[in-house]
Amino acid sequence: MFEKLEKVKQRYQEISGLLALPETIKDQNEFRKLSKEYSGLTDIVSTYNDYLKTKSDYEENRTLLFDTKDAEMKELAKEEDERLKAETERLETKIKELLIPKDPNDDKNAILEIRAGTGGDEASLFASELYRLYNRYFERKGWKTEVIDYSESSIPGGLKEAVINVTVKGAYGELKYESGVHRVQRVPKTEANGRVHTSAASVAVLPEAEDFEVEINENDLKIDVFRSGGAGGQNVNKVETAIRITHLPTGLVVQCQDERSQLKNKLTAMKVLRSRLYERELEIRDREQSDKRKQMVKSGDRSDKVRTYNFPQNRLTDHRIGLTLYNLAEVMDGDLDEIIDKLKTADRAEKLADAN
């Protein structure tokens, strides 16, 4: 471990020098890349330096403890020995956690997509409730969001699909565990016999890709312009501002009709397309590294059933970590902190165990 730490420290000093070079400053993509790496190494180097200082103090105090003949000094050294030993162990554990490879996308903005799944009208109603749940969560956190697309279903209050851009640093790292199939169990309003039905909605969380990470050839795009639908004032159904972009090589389709400006809608749709293409590249990489699929907490394979919301019992179950809570009403009102914290803790514990 310590050999690796010395290499990290050496790399940290190397990047520090590179960032000061005029040619690096001129190349903004390279400068941004190195700055991100430098920032990611800062905590490790700082903690390692603290560890070296504390360990040195601990060894010096141990010498004093065994060599001194003064009873009062020996007692003080004994107390300090316990404190320094505990601090050394704490810093060593922290270093091991910091050395766990971090998802490079964790600090990025996120694009969250909600889609109704199996279950007909009930699934679209549940998708609408998930949409409200996440928006309440964003409000609690004070996060800035932008609705990119919102498509209602045929049933009043139902949601077919929604896409939200969460423009907060670290949003992806917080939200990525929400990806997957969310299952609901309850008695639908349309059920006359009071039977509990099971429906589902899917949630996908994508890291927002930056321009230099994904190159898109304009010749690979088919762009359609159409009139917006839904609320929007006089502009709706009179001016063609909504944009639909089809990426011909992959068949991916993105549309945006939230803005009244055709240009803004195009820029926003391109942002989503870029992130979806970036996600495809990540999925290909993860498939090649198949052992990653063995992780207890996955980064978001959409085929995974991640959570069940049982309304009759006010129960929520996260199947990945065996977590069961009986505060479903609070969760549906946006109280996700406990769930996300436990998922992050489980993920970190699993990675730490693998590292050891």
Domain boundaries, the chain: 2-99, 110-210+302-355, 213-285
Let me know if the fold of 110-210+302-355 is the same as that of 213-285: no
Neighbours of 241 (CB within 10 A): 23
Q: Check if the beta carbon of residue 268 is closer than 8 Å to that of residue 165.
A: yes
Q: Which pLDDT value is given to residue 183?
A: 94
Rg of the chain over all Cα atoms, to the nearest angstrom:
26
Q: Which pLDDT value is given to residue 259?
A: 62
Q: Residue 1 has which token pair?
A: 């471990």
Q: Which pLDDT value is given to residue 286?
A: 63
Report how far Cα 174 is from the mean position of its chain's Cα atoms.
4
Q: Which pLDDT value is given to residue 85?
A: 93
Overall pTM > 0.85:
no
Q: Which of 306, 287, 284 is nearest to 297 (CA)?
A: 306
Q: Which pLDDT value is given to residue 300?
A: 36
The H-or-E segment that residue 99 falls in is helix 71-99
- The residue written with tokens 């190349």 in the block is 27
Q: Which CATH number fits domain 213-285: 3.30.559.30, 3.30.930.10, 1.20.1250.20, 3.30.160.20?
A: 3.30.160.20
Q: Which pLDDT value is given to residue 289?
A: 46
- How would you write the pLDDT of the chain (356 residues) with one tens digit per residue? 778 888 889 998 999 999 999 999 998 888 888 998 888 889 999 999 999 999 999 999 999 888 888 888 888 999 999 999 999 999 998 888 888 877 878 888 999 999 999 888 999 999 999 999 999 999 999 999 988 889 898 888 999 999 999 999 999 999 999 999 999 999 887 676 778 889 999 999 988 877 656 778 888 899 888 876 544 333 444 557 788 999 998 889 888 876 677 888 888 888 888 888 888 887 776 665 444 334 434 443 444 689 999 999 999 999 999 999 999 999 999 999 999 999 998 888 887 776 66
The H-or-E segment that residue 33 falls in is helix 28-67
What is the secondary structure of 137-197 as a DSSP string?
HHHHHT--EEEEEEEE-SSTT-EEEEEEEE-STTHHHHHGGG-EEEEEEE--TT-SS---E
Q: Per residue in 130-157, pLDDT tens?
A: 999 999 999 999 999 988 889 898 888 9
Task: Provide φ and ψ at 292, rounded to 5°.
Answer: -65, -25
Q: CA of 63: how far to CAs of 74, 91, 197, 210, 262, in Å? A: 11, 21, 70, 54, 74
Q: Are strands 180-186 and 305-310 parallel, antiparallel or unpaired?
A: parallel
Q: Which pLDDT value is given to residue 239?
A: 56
DSSP assignment letter at 282: H
Q: Which pLDDT value is given to residue 265?
A: 85
Q: CA of 48: how far to CAs of 18, 99, 270, in Å? A: 22, 11, 42
Considering the domain 110-210+302-355 in this protein, what is its CATH number?
3.30.70.1660
Q: Specify the length of the chain in residues.
A: 356
Q: Which pLDDT value is given to residue 211?
A: 60
Side-chain-facing half-sphere of 23: CA atoms under 13 Å: 2
Amino acid at 59: E
State the helix-helix crossing angle for 2-19 and 71-99, rounded to 10 degrees. 70
- The residue written with tokens 């050294």 in the block is 77
